[in-house]
Structure 1
Amino acid sequence: MRADKYQGKKKRRWPAILLIFLLLIGAGVGYAYFQFKQGVNQSLKKLNKDNKEADVVYTFKGQKDQYGDTNVLLLGSDARGKEKSRADTIMIAHYNEDKGTFKLTSIMRDSYVEIPGHGKHKINSAFARGGPELMRKTIKQNFDIDLQYFAIADFQGFVQLIDEAFPNGVEIDVEKKMSKNINTKLEPGLQRLNGKQMLGYVRFRHDAIGDFGRVERQQKAVKAIGNQLSGLQTITKLPKLIGVLTPYVNTNMNTSDILFMGKDFFSDKRGNIAALRIPVENSFTEPRIQGEGAVLDIDVEKNKQALHQFITK
């Protein structure tokens, strides 16, 4: 009899445990949504009303690549409402779902390539000519890699994200003095930079190596931000961080897509973020082209092979 009573109590206990579990999940989802909306409202108060980029509707016929990875086209813009702006920053984030790993490819904006339907031009002009869809087609035609998602970010969103995620700044080693055309002054040395200073750091290019140094700093900054944001504490902040960034970003990714990849990006198990720059070393010349100015005339086949080797290794 005692055994029967014990079994009866055990059976009655399971519905109560299940109810508590569901309530906890509901509370977690509700809190995450509250944090997300709080981040959105926080950014809306600071958003430049002239910036309409996030409201533009784009067509993007993306898909996973032939290796089963998810590639996200990342474009940086400070157009402030100008319709025909060129992409200031061009990156591809490669995400391997099975391994939970990320890689980053930067394509230099002066790369001189075939743009479908327009002939040869600097690759950053593809965005002005046909939005992210033409940029997708251009990358596919030249490098034979598919892109599933796009995200066009206004640089002020970068500032707000850094200030929210890093109240004490991002620790980074500034390699030289920087001030020209970045609206801030940076001194060399290991230090913590706020959002405005970090934006200046990743945009500076007025030195002997120009855009090459800028791309290197952008990749260095992404790695530093990723490493310093990793951990359980950051994952709990992720909904608000996405909310802060949302008003500044035009993307075809759902919030659930971002959260799914974000949990791996901020995981302690993610590992280091490998990075590649296109064009790779010894694969380009630097002629001046009438109507284009100085360009990077790249060996497309050599760079295509380097990109595929980078993704698959």
Structure 2
Amino acid sequence: MAAVLLAVVLVVAAGGAAAVTYLAQLSDAFDSQAVRIPQAFPEASLRPAAAEPRPDSRSPINILLLGTDTVAADGDPLVAGSQGSRTDAMMLLHLPADRQQLHVMSIMRDLWTNIPGYGEAKINAAYAHGGAPLTVRVVEEMFGTRIDHVAVMDFEGFGSLTESLGGVEITVDQAFDSSHLPGRRFNAGPQLMNGQEALAFVRERYAYSDGDYQRVRNQQEFIRAALAKFLTMETLTNPGRISDVVSKTAPYVAVDEGLNAAGVAGLALELRDLRADDIKMFTLPTAGIGTSDDGQSIVLRDEAAIAAVGRALRGDTLDQYLRALPAGG
């Protein structure tokens, strides 16, 4: 899922903070094991212009993170969505030009929007209809901003990441009985979870009155917890653990051809001082839930919020946008 992919990218990047001598090895491991998406983007004529570099020659970077639980022996659905799989999670990762923070915006998978060539549908249907290129096009048209990289992750990688970290301590906001692990009750409060438990935690939605909204909050909580676990001296000074995280997770990741070893190494240098507190997470505001003309339960677009986020992304002012949100917004 998308939450895991964020951790993978930062895992490799944070390796530079531990020991630069290991960076090439880690990047090569990621490059050799991750699946490549040969055509990740729509044709150029359909895309917004790329961001202009800032005075320090850096540009803001937008990475679209997608998660799917469809698995095939050859991994192809990671690349093309060729079996009609829909994305179970969608996040837009924004790195501002100054690289002082990292913003992660969750997009509700049932958000009702226009899918070019298919009409109105839930946003996660874009992947089923046209894989990564169509999904990128939908998000770019929604916010009027360019996506620089795209990545997809198989759910199986979620457990691998958690296990490679030796488990992750996650704070459960609402107690629930798991629909994915029959007989397992998750009590409220912090608890150490293994890979199977963490996967069940972030996939749960039926136990909550607000369904996917709480699931998105759980996914964001996992990101916080996984990064907090990784960005500790215990992990950062342990090259073996860093290598284990990368090698066990990378095979479940598909990335565009530009997000290769060289690209990851560059991000590593730019993000070497980033810490868990610098990760700012939020969910794209919506106008609540509703029902489509054909009877589907959907999430309604908040057009004002979409326009405001689009302006903030284009102007690289997302931090200002977030500071202006009401508490809990």
* TM exceeding 0.5: yes
- Identity, in percent, stands at 25
Task: Find the residue that maps to 1:297 and give its secondary structure.
Answer: strand
- Give 2:305's aligned residue: 302
Alignment match of 2:289 (pick from 262, 270, 286): 286
Task: Find the residue that maps to 2:305 and give its secondary structure.
Answer: helix
- After TM superposition, give the deviation of residue 158 of structure 1 in Å: 1.4
* Greater CA drift, 99-108 or 253-262: 253-262
TM-score by length of 1: 0.75
- After TM superposition, give the deviation of residue 134 of structure 1 in Å: 0.9
Task: Find the residue that maps to 1:303 and give its secondary structure.
Answer: helix
Query: RMSD in angstroms over aligned alpha carbons?
Result: 3.2
Tell me if structure 1 keeps the 8 A contact 2:99–2:271: no
The residue identity in structure 2 corresponding to 1:185 is R
Distance of 2:140 and 2:23 partners within structure 1:
40
How far does the alpha carbon of each residue in 1:239-271 deviate from its partner, in whole angstroms, 9 at most, with x for none? 442222221111011123234435666746563
- Give 2:135's aligned residue: 135
Distance of 1:301 and 1:54 partners within structure 2:
37
Distance 1:29 1:305, change over 3 A: same
The residue identity in structure 2 corresponding to 1:288 is T
Q: Equivalent residues in 2 for 1:235-250 (5 A)?
A: 235=236, 236=239, 237-250=241-254
Does residue 77 (structure 1) correspond to residue 68 (structure 2)? The answer is: yes
Distance of 2:125 and 2:319 partners within structure 1:
29
Distance 1:156 1:170, change over 3 A: same
The residue identity in structure 2 corresponding to 1:242 is V
Alignment match of 2:263 (pick from 257, 260, 270): 257
TM-score by length of 2: 0.71
Distance of 1:57 and 1:244 partners within structure 2:
23
The residue identity in structure 2 corresponding to 1:95 is L
Distance 1:202 1:265, change over 3 A: farther
Q: Higher relative CO (CA 8 A, sep ≥ 6), structure 1 or 2?
A: 2
- After TM superposition, give the deviation of residue 58 of structure 1 in Å: 3.2
Task: Find the residue that maps to 1:86 and give its secondary structure.
Answer: coil
Alignment match of 1:172 (pick from 166, 170, 173): 170
Distance of 1:57 and 1:292 partners within structure 2:
36
* Greater CA drift, 100-109 or 262-271: 262-271
Task: Find the residue that maps to 1:90 and give its secondary structure.
Answer: strand
Distance 1:210 1:30, change over 3 A: closer
Q: Equivalent residues in 2 for 1:155-234 (5 A)?
A: 155-165=155-165, 167=166, 169-174=167-172, 175-182=174-181, 185-188=184-187, 189-206=189-206, 207-231=208-232, 234=235
Distance 1:99 1:182, change over 3 A: same
- Give 2:104's aligned residue: 104
Instruction: Identify unmatched segments of 5+ residues in structure 2.
Output: 1-18, 78-82, 321-329
Distance of 1:229 and 1:203 partners within structure 2:
22
- After TM superposition, give the deviation of residue 139 of structure 1 in Å: 0.9
Tell me if structure 2 keeps the 8 A contact 1:40–1:247: no
Distance 1:85 1:183, change over 3 A: farther
- Give 1:311's aligned residue: 318
- After TM superposition, give the deviation of residue 205 of structure 1 in Å: 0.4
Computing the radius of gyration from Cα coordinates, the structure with the larger value is: 1
* Greater CA drift, 225-234 or 241-250: 225-234
The residue identity in structure 2 corresponding to 1:248 is Y
Instruction: Identify unmatched segments of 5+ residues in structure 1.
Output: 1-26, 45-52
Tell me if structure 1 keeps the 8 A contact 2:231–2:275: no
Distance 1:258 1:238, change over 3 A: farther
Tell me if structure 1 keeps the 8 A contact 2:100–2:274: no
Distance 1:163 1:125, change over 3 A: same
Tell me if structure 2 keeps the 8 A contact 1:65–1:146: yes
Task: Find the residue that maps to 2:121 and give its secondary structure.
Answer: strand
